[in-house]
Structure 1
Amino acid sequence: MTITTDSVFGLNAPALALWQRRSEVIASNLANADTPGYQARDVDFRAALQQVGGESSQLAMSTPTAGQIDATSTSTDDLKYRVPMQPSMDGNTVDAQVEQSAFASNTVHYQASLSFINATIQTLRLAITGGAS
Structure 2
Amino acid sequence: MFGNTISMAEKALSYLYKREEVLMNNMANVDTPGFKRTDVSFEEEFRNKLIEASGSKNSRAMPEAIEESHYTLYSRDDSARVDENNVNMDVEQTEFARSGLQYQYLMQSVNMDFKLLQSAIKGQ
Same fold (TM over 0.5): yes
Instruction: Give the aligned partner of residue 95 of structure 1.
Output: 88
CA RMSD of aligned residues (A): 2.8
Q: Does 1:68 align with 2:67?
A: yes
Q: Deviations over 1:14-71 (max 9, x none)?
A: 1111111111110110011111111101111323423653649xxxxxxxx9433799
Q: Distance in 2 between matches of 1:4 and 1:123?
A: 10
Alignment partner, residue 60 of structure 1 = none
Task: State the Cα distance separating 1:10 from its structure 2 match.
Answer: 5.7
Q: Pick the aligned partner of 2:36 from 35, 39, 52.
A: 39
| Number of corresponding residues | 114
Q: Judge conservation of contact 2:49–2:69 (CA < 8 Å) in 1.
A: no
Taking the aligned partners of 2:116 and 2:77, their CA distance within structure 1 comes to: 43
Offset at residue 99 of structure 1 (A):
0.2
Gaps of 5+ in 2: 54-62
TM-score, L = length of structure 1: 0.71
Identity across aligned pairs (percent)?
29
Deviation at 1:89, TM superposition (A): 0.7
Hey, what's the Cα distance between the residues in 1 that align with 2:87 and 2:36? 7
Structure 1 gap segments, 5+ residues each: 57-64, 72-76
Residue 26 in structure 1 maps to residue 23 in structure 2: yes
What is the distance in 2 between the residues matched to 1:116 and 1:110?
A: 10
Partner of 1:124: 117
| TM value normalised by structure 2 | 0.75
Counterpart residue number, 1:78: 72
Q: Which has the higher helix share?
A: 2
Equivalents in 2 of 1:17, 1:69: separation in Å?
Answer: 14
Q: Secondary structure in 2 aligned to 1:68?
A: helix
Distance 1:41 1:118 in 2: 31
Letter in 2 for 1:27: M
